A and B are shown apart, each in its own frame.
Chain A
Amino acid sequence: MQLVHNLRFTPFTFCRRLSATPSLAARCCSSPPSPTIAAKPLFLRPPHHPSTLSDLRQWYSWAYLLSTSVGSSFLLSDGGPDSSLLLRELRWLLEDVLDTSSGIHPHLVTHPDDDSHRKVWLRAEIGDLYRLWRQRIEERKPFQYVVGCEHWRDLVLWVREGVLIPRPETEMIVDLARDAVGKNPFLRDGLWADLGTGSGAIAIGVSRLVLGDGGKVFATDLSPVALEVASYNVCRYGLEDAIELRKGSWFEPLRDVQGKLAGVVSNPPYIPTDDMLGLQAEVGRHEPGLALDGGVDGTDDLLHLCHGASSFLQPGGFFAFETNGEKHCQFLMEYLAREFKGSFRSVDVVSDFSGIPRFVIGFRC
């Protein structure tokens, strides 16, 4: 394991990667880049598909039935969604697909009355809706891939197969960063890094909520799909100047700012390899392994990040890492105390909303 880390750091790979992949931020544009039309979040697509209220209702009741037939079978088998959750998702799908500017609101669809011949405009063909909902139920495709977006904090982010759907737990990393900056205002205008940025969620959250005009976030990832998605989201929020995307492994593309980072935040893959098989179908069958598999005990990347933080953070710099839970947190606390004596201060564990110890945070001395 240690060997792998060292390999990733060889100057050779570093140089090659850097030259081969110019900063993606340069490719950004004032309007979002156009990934293939079908890949955009559903709710942003133009409502070009006419249908009638009655056809839509028919689809809705079909989907409603399909969802209720699930009962709690998914929940019992792998902790997946039960009917009531699926019904809520169904409603959201309706909200995303329906053009309400003509005065047709979702509740007109879900509460039948007479004027069923009214025309409605949809953002996908009605046939696609049947396909999408079948995928949701039969293939257990995550809802967020179905609608192409995830609501995260106050953001709506594009997501698609190949990029991890940001989790609600991770929202808190932005709050942790904000608290840190609140107590140490000089961090506000510094250089930050979001390593393994995925859809760009943390980088965008930190950039918008935490950093000042002088602050900047480097967002790195190894996955080209993740970088494509992140770049779309960064542009959608107009943060091209505040977030720079770089391709590469963890700290590797950041050599030029070694020792100068004011903050490092990351939600690296942390699921122990053995657990990868028993995952909830939405996760195991659909989300990218690269984003989830954290090695034998799930700490491969976390340990790598700790090492990197000790050399890439400036004095007083802040870090926050998401972990797999109590075991990881404890292990990392001990590891940091043992391996980096005197390098970090105020190292602490923070629990998520479910009360699970989830984050390890601290400052570089």
Chain B
Amino acid sequence: MSRGTSDRAWPGGIFSARTEMPFALSRQATLRTPSEQSPPTHHRTYNEESNPFTGSKDGRRLQIPEETMPISFLRRSLRKALSFLHWSPSRFPYSNRPGFPRQKDVFLTTGYRCSFHSGAQGGSFSENWRRLCSYSSRAAAEPSTSDGLTLEGIISNQWTILDEGESDWRSHVAAIAQSIGLIKRRLKWKEMLVRLNLLSAQLDRPDIWDDPMHAGKISREYGSLMAKMKEVVAWERQLLEHIDMIKLAREENDSELESESLKALLDMRRSSKDKELEALLSGQHDLCPCFIEVQAGAGGTESMDWASMVMQMYRMWAQRRGYGVTVVDEMPGEIAGIKRATIKVDGEYAFGYAKAEVGVHRLVRISPFDSNKRRHTSFAAVAVIPILGDGFSHVQINESDLRIERFRAGGAGGQHVNTTESAVRIIHIPTGITATCQNERSQHQNKASAMAVLQSRLDQLEMARQAQMNAQHTQSLTEISWGNQIRTYVLHPYRMVKDLRTNYEVSDPDSVLEGDLDGFILSYLSTSLDKDEEDK
């Protein structure tokens, strides 16, 4: 699996694994020019989103898994790709198109003519490549407009941000710039660039493929970070291009172009909001499905009932989001509610969202289980465990380290007994970690589910171990202390749900208990990320 032998021998198997990308990313690049020399000294790029000619009439689109490619590979493949394209300027009718006189031809240092063309989905190949090179060399001149205005510059101008409806380009620009700033903070921009540099250095080492597992991991991380980075850079460039266009339009008194650009800015401004949200879910495992576990605190039936209300809240939340929910393990209370339960939540970003719920949830109400109608306070602890995909290296489990037990053992078993009780408990002897499953209808399936839970718990333990060095992790049930209250739900004497971490609150507990949790989740995610960044 040496990268050196042939560009086509790139081990696509590993790279085709899904990477974590919160944004829809460009995988298509339109090739316009053969050049791999130093970046052009003079260039101007146009966004063509509203241009019907976008979409490469000549049909020469290259399918390139950009987000997984280290630079050196990209260079090589660019060279190769260009060699079988018979490039000729006359084949690109674009610049000759009547009614679009402002196509600026760009002269590269090599003298080739090149039209930069950022397609609806991102950026041209050469642009990407140039960007890649500049970023990897860390010698990147900050992107700027033709007259030197940069993102930072825009932000520091402190242009007033007016309502969206006001067609003031400065206001749009300022709003978008602010969004990009926020997105960068949420993505931990500087850290990310350092990490990318480190990863690309590792990937460029000739012996990297000696350990394919490791190489796969590195290149996946590289790919996913690169994708995120490129998305933001493209966004930033687009903004600057529009500014250029507006200025140009004004210079040349072209009101049509000006209003087109204004509209493009407005569109950008609107989608910036989505991107801000998406940037909240850029954690390494955010894309994964997860287990949500709820455990009743002390206080008997009242807290067991509360635990089941909490579990129900998550089921309904998951359903609203279109996630699949399966009950893995459930220990019902004697009279009502649950002592403990685990559900599996399947769907994109399940972990990314649900991780905001980890901690202790507190309920204040008149207990329906108290004949004296007194006010009770009960607690339920929530833990969330990501279910890592096949792409991640799982903790290896040796069969010999496991003890597998059936519940309600005792009695003769076998033909003597007819029971639907087929719960299984698996104990991982070296760590003492256990997993149980009793909600499947066969013992075999219970064992398979319990194994999946065990695997995730062990993975989580391992992540926690590694996290002491860098990344964040979510606590397991046993780690959560009952003092760690994150949210209070008051049903009596007044009605309110309040998050103690963000102070976000709503006055309608019913809607929250019916799964309307996104407000809490998003406010927590943004506060924690935005705070994290400020702490530095």
Residues of B near A323 (CB, < 8 A) are 414
B417/A151 in contact, CB under 8 A: no
Determine the distance from Cα of A10 to Cα of B406 in the docked complex, in whole angstroms: 43
- B43-72 vs A: 1/0 string, CB under 8 Å? 000000000000000000000000000000
Residues of A near B419 (CB, < 8 A) are 81, 85
A143/B443 in contact, CB under 8 A: no
| A84-B332, A324-B412, A353-B424 known; A280 vs B417 contact (CB < 8 Å) | yes
A154 in complex: contacting residue of B415, B420, B444, CB < 8 Å: B444
Known: A153-B442, A354-B405. 14 other contacts (CB 8 A): A79-B411, A79-B417, A84-B332, A88-B420, A88-B439, A154-B442, A154-B445, A164-B415, A169-B413, A170-B414, A171-B444, A280-B416, A283-B416, A355-B405
| A152-B442, A153-B444, A171-B443 known; A354 vs B406 contact (CB < 8 Å) | yes
| 8 Å CB interface, A257-303 against B | 267, 269-271, 275, 279-280, 282-283, 287, 291-292
Is B312 on the interface with A (CB-CB < 8 A)?
Answer: yes
Is B224 on the interface with A (CB-CB < 8 A)?
Answer: no
A292/B415 in contact, CB under 8 A: yes
Is A89 on the interface with B (CB-CB < 8 A)?
Answer: yes
| 8 Å CB interface, B291-341 against A | 312, 315, 319, 330, 332, 334
Is B455 on the interface with A (CB-CB < 8 A)?
Answer: no
B442/A107 in contact, CB under 8 A: no
Is B218 on the interface with A (CB-CB < 8 A)?
Answer: no
Query: How many residues of chain A are within 8 Å of chain B by beta carbon?
Result: 50
Residues of A near B412 (CB, < 8 A) are 324-325, 356
Is B441 on the interface with A (CB-CB < 8 A)?
Answer: yes
| 8 Å CB interface, B132-161 against A | none
Determine the distance from Cα of A155 to Cα of B441 in the docked complex, in whole angstroms: 10
Determine the distance from Cα of A164 to Cα of B444 in the docked complex, in whole angstroms: 19
Determine the distance from Cα of A79 to Cα of B411 in the docked complex, in whole angstroms: 8
A81/B413 in contact, CB under 8 A: no
Is B234 on the interface with A (CB-CB < 8 A)?
Answer: no
Determine the distance from Cα of A151 to Cα of B448 in the docked complex, in whole angstroms: 14
- B423-444 vs A: 1/0 string, CB under 8 Å? 0100000000000001111111
Residues of A near B416 (CB, < 8 A) are 271, 275, 279-280, 283
Determine the distance from Cα of A248 to Cα of B416 in the docked complex, in whole angstroms: 25
Determine the distance from Cα of A211 to Cα of B405 in the docked complex, in whole angstroms: 28
Determine the distance from Cα of A155 to Cα of B445 in the docked complex, in whole angstroms: 10
Determine the distance from Cα of A291 to Cα of B414 in the docked complex, in whole angstroms: 12
| 8 Å CB interface, B398-424 against A | 404-406, 409-422, 424
Determine the distance from Cα of A287 to Cα of B410 in the docked complex, in whole angstroms: 21
Residues of A near B332 (CB, < 8 A) are 84, 87-88
CB A73 to nearest CB in B, in angstroms, measures 14
Query: Can you identify 28 A-B contacts, CB atoms within 8 angstroms?
Result: A81-B420, A84-B332, A84-B334, A85-B420, A87-B332, A88-B330, A88-B420, A88-B438, A88-B439, A89-B420, A113-B514, A143-B420, A144-B418, A150-B442, A153-B444, A154-B442, A165-B418, A167-B418, A168-B422, A169-B413, A171-B444, A270-B415, A280-B418, A291-B415, A322-B414, A353-B443, A354-B410, A358-B413
B contacts with A: majority SS: loop
B441/A151 in contact, CB under 8 A: yes
- A165-180 vs B: 1/0 string, CB under 8 Å? 1011111000000000
Is A237 on the interface with B (CB-CB < 8 A)?
Answer: no
Is A111 on the interface with B (CB-CB < 8 A)?
Answer: yes
Residues of B near A322 (CB, < 8 A) are 414
A107/B315 in contact, CB under 8 A: yes
- A103-116 vs B: 1/0 string, CB under 8 Å? 00101000101000
Is A335 on the interface with B (CB-CB < 8 A)?
Answer: no
Residues of A near B444 (CB, < 8 A) are 152-154, 168, 171
- Chain B residue at minimal CB-CB distance from A322: B414
A151/B413 in contact, CB under 8 A: no
The interface of chain B, by Cβ under 8 A from chain A, is 312, 315, 319, 330, 332, 334, 404-406, 409-422, 424, 438-445, 514
A354/B409 in contact, CB under 8 A: yes
Residues of A near B443 (CB, < 8 A) are 168, 171, 353
Is A362 on the interface with B (CB-CB < 8 A)?
Answer: no
A167 in complex: contacting residue of B312, B415, B438, B514, CB < 8 Å: B415
Determine the distance from Cα of A164 to Cα of B312 in the docked complex, in whole angstroms: 37
A92/B405 in contact, CB under 8 A: no
Determine the distance from Cα of A335 to Cα of B412 in the docked complex, in whole angstroms: 22
- Chain A residue at minimal CB-CB distance from B422: A168
Is A142 on the interface with B (CB-CB < 8 A)?
Answer: yes
CB B195 to nearest CB in A, in angstroms, measures 42
| 8 Å CB interface, A289-328 against B | 291-292, 322-325
B442/A151 in contact, CB under 8 A: yes
Chain B CB within 10 Å, residue with most, of A113, A322, A356? A356
CB B350 to nearest CB in A, in angstroms, measures 18
Determine the distance from Cα of A358 to Cα of B416 in the docked complex, in whole angstroms: 13
Determine the distance from Cα of A111 to Cα of B308 in the docked complex, in whole angstroms: 10
CB B334 to nearest CB in A, in angstroms, measures 8
Residues of A near B418 (CB, < 8 A) are 142, 144, 165, 167, 280, 282-283, 287
Is A352 on the interface with B (CB-CB < 8 A)?
Answer: yes
Residues of B near A267 (CB, < 8 A) are 415
Determine the distance from Cα of A79 to Cα of B414 in the docked complex, in whole angstroms: 13
Determine the distance from Cα of A354 to Cα of B407 in the docked complex, in whole angstroms: 8
A354/B441 in contact, CB under 8 A: no
Determine the distance from Cα of A283 to Cα of B444 in the docked complex, in whole angstroms: 22
Determine the distance from Cα of A349 to Cα of B454 in the docked complex, in whole angstroms: 28
B312 in complex: contacting residue of A79, A111, A142, A143, CB < 8 Å: A111
Determine the distance from Cα of A162 to Cα of B50 in the docked complex, in whole angstroms: 73
Chain A CB within 10 Å, residue with most, of B312, B418, B441? B418
Determine the distance from Cα of A10 to Cα of B418 in the docked complex, in whole angstroms: 36
CB B77 to nearest CB in A, in angstroms, measures 43
- Chain B residue at minimal CB-CB distance from A268: B415
Determine the distance from Cα of A169 to Cα of B413 in the docked complex, in whole angstroms: 8
A171/B442 in contact, CB under 8 A: yes
- Chain A residue at minimal CB-CB distance from B336: A68
Residues of A near B445 (CB, < 8 A) are 151, 153-154
Residues of B near A171 (CB, < 8 A) are 442-444
| 8 Å CB interface, A101-141 against B | 105, 107, 111, 113
Determine the distance from Cα of A16 to Cα of B416 in the docked complex, in whole angstroms: 34
Residues of A near B422 (CB, < 8 A) are 168
CB A325 to nearest CB in B, in angstroms, measures 6
Residues of A near B438 (CB, < 8 A) are 88
CB A182 to nearest CB in B, in angstroms, measures 13
Residues of A near B411 (CB, < 8 A) are 79
Residues of B near A354 (CB, < 8 A) are 405-406, 409-410, 413
Residues of B near A107 (CB, < 8 A) are 312, 315
Determine the distance from Cα of A92 to Cα of B410 in the docked complex, in whole angstroms: 25
Residues of B near A89 (CB, < 8 A) are 420
- Chain A residue at minimal CB-CB distance from B444: A153
Determine the distance from Cα of A272 to Cα of B343 in the docked complex, in whole angstroms: 42
CB B294 to nearest CB in A, in angstroms, measures 15
Chain A CB within 10 Å, residue with most, of B406, B420, B438? B420
B414/A270 in contact, CB under 8 A: yes
Residues of A near B406 (CB, < 8 A) are 168, 352-354
Residues of B near A291 (CB, < 8 A) are 415
Residues of A near B514 (CB, < 8 A) are 113
Determine the distance from Cα of A153 to Cα of B444 in the docked complex, in whole angstroms: 5
CB A308 to nearest CB in B, in angstroms, measures 20
